Structure 1
Amino acid sequence: MSTFRHVLGLWLVPDFSAVERGEIPPPHVNYDALDTRDVAETLSKFNDCGEDVAISVPNDAVDQVTVQFRLTGRVAGSPQCEDFALELLNMAERTGYLDTRGCWAELHALPNRRHAPPPVLLLFVVSGDFDGVMVWSQQLRMRLGIRAADMLKQIAGDVADADYQGHLPSELAMYFGRIFGIPYRRECLVTGLASSPVPY
């Protein structure tokens, strides 16, 4: 059976309040130092639901400058960043090590990834058989408290915009704060941004 791959986006909210008060300098991330294997293992352990899937994390992420510039039209591209996800999916189909620096270079508003703002969108790939990947992805949403993941709400058509918002558990928020150098608020979203063809 062929491997099915699904690119998920975890949307995060850096807490810049201490920066705005002048208590700390603006943080920057050197993505050369990002331990992608540790990030993948952290996500996998957090959402361990018994499915035989693999989690892969690229050596880069999307910062708020890129998203804001896309929202205002200063740079081309959708603020949902599906183009990042498609490039990531194409790379994951070819290789296990997701070095996205080259293929994402022209997509970023700020191309220097050794001195980049902290991420607001963490993309990663879930790989395995189709059913396992879908169960893992749904379980992630449920563990983050995303009410829209409840199948009963979907069947009843009782899903409001607020139901798509989740909340990071404190240990996961603290983990992201540690590796990216700034506290993160609890609010989060999960979006499916690209995937392999659905098997029939």
Structure 2
Amino acid sequence: MAGTPRLVVVSAGLSQPSSTRLLADRLAEATRRRLAEAGREAAPRVVELRGLATEIAGHLVTGFPAPALREALEAVSGAEGLIVVTPVFAASYSGLFKSFFDLVEPDALAGTPVLIAATGGTPRHSLVLDHALRPLFTHLHATVVPTGVYAAAEDWGGGGDALTPTLPVRVDRAAGELAALLPERSRDAGDGAEQEVVPFAERLAALRRNSRA
């Protein structure tokens, strides 16, 4: 087995349980499965922003993170792959979601593969992926995978239509794209072996193959 990549999942759901966390868990499991098919391991770590809301507000006004928030920020900044999921508020990401990523150090996510996802009550808000989430993580210099996943209320258990694949199909496709971009060896491997450097062109080709699968 190659080194386990540091995969972090950020869920901004406000209720408990929430469809946002449910989608986050499905994406994490699909990514873990795709990596396992390639003979690799992953143990995704979940960061629930709901429990950090007070600390996020405190950091914004004081400039100092409390211990739990500091640990979450360090996990995200040190991730080798991210899955981020937000509920839709006013046709955009939630304030809690944006406030958390406002606290991530500039360039901490540079080059980090990110899978973006969102949940909402109606399919009309699916454009949030491209008009809000994708620009945010492009601004942070992250590498956003081509397929974003939006889940409306009707997607849970729905059969899709002629133009829209079912939610499980979209989840699997996005997970395959993220898995293809994760490093072959984690920076935490620590076994003294020389890390194999895979040219970006090869990784991009693999991502395209997964997108067509």
Shorter-chain TM-score above 0.5? no
How high is the TM-score relative to the length of structure 1? Answer: 0.31
| Larger relative contact order, structure 1 or 2 (CA cutoff 8 Å, min sep 6) | 1
How high is the TM-score relative to the length of structure 2? Answer: 0.30
